[in-house]
Structure 1
Amino acid sequence: MISSWRRRRATRRARKEQLVGCEEAGETELTIPSHFRCPISLDLMKDPVTLSTGITYDRESIETWIDAGNRTCPITNQALRSLEPIPNHAIRRMVQDWCVENRSFGIERIPTPRIPASPMDVLEILKNIASASERGDRDGCIESVAKMKALVREGERNKRCFATHGAGTALSSAFEEFSNTSSLDENIIVLFEEMLSVFPSMFPLNSEARSHLGSPASLHCMILLLKSGDLTARRNSVLVLKEIVSSDSRNKAEEVAEIDGAPEALYKLIKEPICPTATKAALVVIYRMTSLNPTNEKIITRLVEMGLVNLLIETLVDADRSVCEKALGVLDGICNIELGRVTTYDHSLTVAALVKKLLRVSELATEFSVSVLWKLARRNDQPDDGALVEALQVGAFQKLLLLLQVGCGERTKEKATELLKLLNLHRERSECIDSSDFKDLKRPF
């Protein structure tokens, strides 16, 4: 026992002397053993796995290779009998021991990786969710959904595995099943919140999953959480609503709008933002409500009376590109009715904000800005001198001319051309730039 201790002490002393000698000679570079390197990335393997050909790779590298459509071993070029790599615990422990031995070089011990969920694990969880929903077992369903949520959060591989095996459809079916319950007590609300937190990981949903979530019972439950849930539940609810209405016809947007308190809850998400993602999702849902069915004055009137127009214009002042596009789209839909046009024009910043966004944010933002300006300039199907004069004063004529020069869509081109004709009638007395300022400018021809 004493001799064994002496040998270990001698080994440590020899390693220390070797290290000191290398430092004195300026040779402090550490060489990674070749069998610890991934044959693909040539980096130290953090999660070594072995293929059916017997070659070991780092999991991230070989999964990237397989996901690219390759079905052969990169080293041997042999066809893979199985695409499921097997964890190589022996190599992983050797790598960890080597990291510990060389910690004086600044090498940190790699953590023991979590084993990804296998297809069998995924199918078992989805089967338990389906059977629990059939029995009405809320606690059992919550337990299975929690397991699914934990695995999905571990990494993209687990997320893809669940999505590939139909997790979106199974989860949405269970959501609809429990939505049809007669009583919405605290237990069922917890279940809905857990389910909604997983859905964003499954996007985009297939048509069957959207059908389950788009049922009247499911929509009412989501609106309930959108109105009275915590911040996370409200965020996840609006993301799922966006997924449903974005990939469906106008019918789903109308159904959402008709649910008591839905427009007010969406308006609150914009007025009191939770996060940029939730704000954008709320704008998309409202856009679908207002733009896909321009004749539905009831929905637009409710939104205008809430104060949405003022909120949108104030949002435009310093919004990023994505929010700006969506806010302009909603504003364009609101201006389909007379009340919307009047309320929009009554805001002192409207015309200036619209002209400022021309050719400045994106092509889509420019199209919406031209459309709104065109609607404001033709209120009651007659030219509105006030809107036209104000547009001239903030430089709309020059920007519209430039827009026609650089090119735009056919419908936008028609509206811009008509706006230029109307603006031209007021140029002599209202344009902010006097053409005489350029009388001495030499022409290039």
Structure 2
Amino acid sequence: MVLGWRRRKGSNKNRRKGGKSIAELVTPNHFRCPISLDLMKDPVTLSTGITYDRESVEMWFDEGNITCPVTNQVVRNFDMIPNHSLRVMIQDWCVENRQHGVERIPTPRIPIGSIEVAELLMLVKASSTDLDQYGCLELVQKLKRWGGESERNKRCIVDNGAPVALASSFDAFANDSIERNVVLLEEILSALNWMFPLQLEAHKSLGSLASLRCMVWFLKHQDLSGKEKSIVALKELLKFGDVKHLEALSQIEGVNELLVEFINKRISPTITKASLSAVWYLVSSSSNSSDKMRLKFVELGLVSSLLDILIDSDKSMCEKAVTILDSLCSSEEGRNKACGNDLTIPLLVKKILRVSPLTTDYSVSAIWKLCKFGEKDEGRTLVEALQVGAFQKLLLVLQVGCGDETKEKATELLKLLNPYRAELECIDSDYKNVKRSF
């Protein structure tokens, strides 16, 4: 394989004295990484004596390999010694050939080590204990700069306990004063955003009442960037599934209203998707407050908001919306709101087999709940479902295959719908030619 830079034809600089055009500049073999065959930007030498580009050899070891790619020897010492002499030679070669379009490789920063991270985190803990916001802010910003230099640095920071230290610091300063420490708190939250998923101990600190109140405060008062960091952190925290966090969040005034507002306004895809995920965790949990949360969201008009999302949204948004709608239909209040909206049944039927298997499962489940437990509508929901092609869609679900739970619900729905078929014809033109199996 030859690596080179093709020069523009017709340029005087691209010709030798005799006028012959040079078509290609070949990179010296010893400047190329034996793994990627690309020009090395940060050459490092292993204990086996072979030099590689740092990024390539780190990826090699990250994939579980323990041998030197060239010699195939088992590597017992994974230290990577920077080959400064070779790097300088490569840089000089780049400078000499810049007229051919070769750019000089920058001098790489020295990667941080475990000792440096551990020392900095000790200072973070000390400044948090003393509530020294300016000292802590400087340390957190330094940690963020390290992480911004490379993915390797990020892994080193996370592996050496940064999430626990930062979450504990966030809790301490949030408990002191949100308004006074707002800049520091946002910096900590920004750093934590690229450290998810967090360890158990970090979850305990980030899930404290003080930390939760701070994140809700950010959702109310910060700019778009601050809101995004906060809602992502909140989503990741609820994703962990700790009932105590769910219970604590449900006690904070205004949370439900904020989440519904974000879903309605859709000020950014990140905020909308994270808000939908947060709502899902709140209404589908096994906590004692989940029933109250469902009722509250129904009263805030979330059913209509979810139907608006189902009309025209991407796969991820549709999946989240239909799973929440199915959960809300577990309550009588939710079913009444859903049945009272003319879009509910048509949209749920339309989403079957059109978005994803997950959307199909939850759409069938929601229709099943509306038809089976909607006793007060005297069969109107069943009639509406038939009119928009639910019978044919359910047959297709059984034919293409589905999970046992969806299969049971689809079969029961077919039995509920069957008595009404004699009087009604399906008006869904996309499925009017589907052959009926019974």
TM-score (norm 1): 0.88
SS class of match (1:378)? helix
Deviation at 1:17, TM superposition (A): 10
Identity of aligned residues (%): 51
Residue 208 of structure 2 is matched in structure 1 by 215
Amino acid at match of 2:202: A
Looking at structure 1, the residues matched to 412 and 35 of structure 2 have their Cα atoms a distance apart, in angstroms, of: 61
1:338 equivalent in structure 2: 332
Matched, 1:421 2:415: yes
Structure 1 residue identity aligned to 2:274 = A
Residues 226-263 of structure 1: CA deviation (Å, up to 9, x unaligned): 22222122111111111221122444223212211111
Give the match for residue 159 of structure 1.
154
- Aligned residue number for residue 264 of structure 2: 271
CA contact 2:208–2:245 (8 Å) conserved in 1: no
Matched with 2:293 is: 299
- Alignment correspondent of 2:364: 370
Give the superposition deviation at 1:50.
Answer: 2.3
Partner of 1:59: 54
Contact 2:323 2:362 in 1 (8 A): yes
Distance between the aligned counterparts of 1:271 and 1:382, measured in 2?
A: 30
Contact 1:129/1:144, CA 8 A, preserved across alignment: yes
1:205 is matched with which residue? Answer: 198
> Who is 2:5 aligned against?
none
Alignment match, 1:6: none
Is the partner of 1:108 in helix, strand or coil?
Answer: coil
**Aligned equivalents of 1:117 and 1:94: distance in 2?**
24
Rg (Cα) greater in structure: 1
Q: Is the CA contact 1:294–1:333 (under 8 Å) kept in the aligned structure 2?
A: no
Deviation of 1:370 (Å) = 0.8
Alpha-carbon displacement from aligned partner over 1:93-152 (angstroms, at most 9, x marks no partner): 221221121122221222222322222221122111111111111111111111111221
Write the distance in 1 (CA, Å) between the matches of 2:123 and 2:414: 64
Alignment counterpart, residue 166 of structure 2, candidates 167, 171, 193: 171
Residues 237-292 of structure 1, C-alpha deviation per residue, up to 9 Å, x if partnerless? 11111122112244422321221111112122212224323322211111121122
Tell me the amino acid that sits aligned with residue 101 of structure 1: E
Equivalent positions of 1:217-236 (< 5 A) are: 217-236=210-229
Say which of 89, 97, 120 aligns to 2:92.
97
Q: Cα offset for 1:215?
A: 1.6
**How many angstroms does 1:75 deviate by?**
3.1
Structure 1 regions of 5+ residues with no counterpart? Answer: 1-15
| Cα distance between partner residues in 1 of 2:240 and 2:46 | 40
- 1:399 to partner: Cα distance: 0.5
> Quick check: 1:189 aligned with 2:182?
yes
121, 125, 128: which is aligned to 1:126?
121
User: Which residue in the other structure is 1:11 paired with?
Assistant: none
In structure 2, the partner of 1:8 is none
Q: Give SS of 2:260's match.
A: helix
Equivalent in 284, 304, 311 of residue 310 of structure 1: 304
Cα distance in 1 for residues equivalent to 2:225 and 2:192: 13
Counting helix residues as a fraction of each chain, which structure ranks higher? 1
Give the aligned partner of residue 275 of structure 2: 282
Q: In structure 1, what is the Cα distance between the partners aligned to 2:104 and 2:220?
A: 48
1:402 and 2:396 equivalent?
yes
Question: For residue 7 of structure 1, what is the aligned residue in structure 2?
Answer: none
> Which deviations, in whole Å up to 9, do the C-alpha atoms of 1:386-430 show, x marking residues without a partner?
111111111100000111122222221221112111111111222
Corresponding residue of 1:142: 137
**Which residue is equivalent to 1:3?**
none
Secondary structure, in 3 states, of the residue corresponding to 2:399? helix
Report if the CA contact (8 A) 1:357-1:366 is conserved. Answer: yes
- May I ask how many residue pairs the two structures share in their alignment? 424
1:357 to 332, 339, 351: 351
The 3 A distance-change label for structure 1 pair 438 and 173 is: closer
Give the whole-Å Cα distance in 2 for the aligned partners of 1:244 and 1:34: 50
Shift in Å at residue 305 of structure 1?
Answer: 2.2
1:258 to 251, 268, 272: 251
Equivalent-residue separation in structure 2 for 1:282 and 1:196 (angstroms):
17
Report what 1:30 is aligned to: 25
Question: C-alpha distance in 2, partners of 1:94/1:158?
Answer: 26
Query: Which residue is equivalent to 2:7?
Result: none
Residue 52 of structure 2 aligns to a residue in which SS?
strand
User: 2:335·2:374 contact (CA, 8 Å) conserved in 1?
Assistant: no
Give the CA deviation at 1:187: 3.7
Q: What's the CA shift for 1:342?
A: 1.3
Q: Partners of 1:274 and 1:144 in 2: how far apart?
A: 32
**Aligned residues of 2:14 and 2:21 also touching (Cα < 8 A):** no
Q: Is the 8 A contact 2:128 2:173 kept in 1?
A: yes
Match of 2:323 among 306, 329, 334: 329
The equivalent residue for 1:347 is 341
Q: Distance in 2 between matches of 1:18 and 1:358?
A: 64
Report the Cα distance in structure 2 between the residues aligned to 1:142 and 1:207, rounded to whole angstroms. Answer: 24
> Does 59-68 or 247-256 show the bigger shift?
247-256
Report the residue type matching 1:104 in the other structure: Q
Shift in alpha-carbon separation, 1:246–1:381, aligned structure 2, 3 A: farther
Q: Structure 2: 5+ residue runs without aligned partners?
A: 1-10
Q: How far apart in 1 are the matches of 2:287 and 2:121?
A: 42
Deviates more, 1:16-25 or 1:306-315: 16-25
Aligned mates of 1:341, 1:105 — CA distance in 2: 70
Q: Which letter maps to 2:103?
A: E
The change in CA–CA distance for 1:343 and 1:101 in structure 2 (over 3 A counts) is same
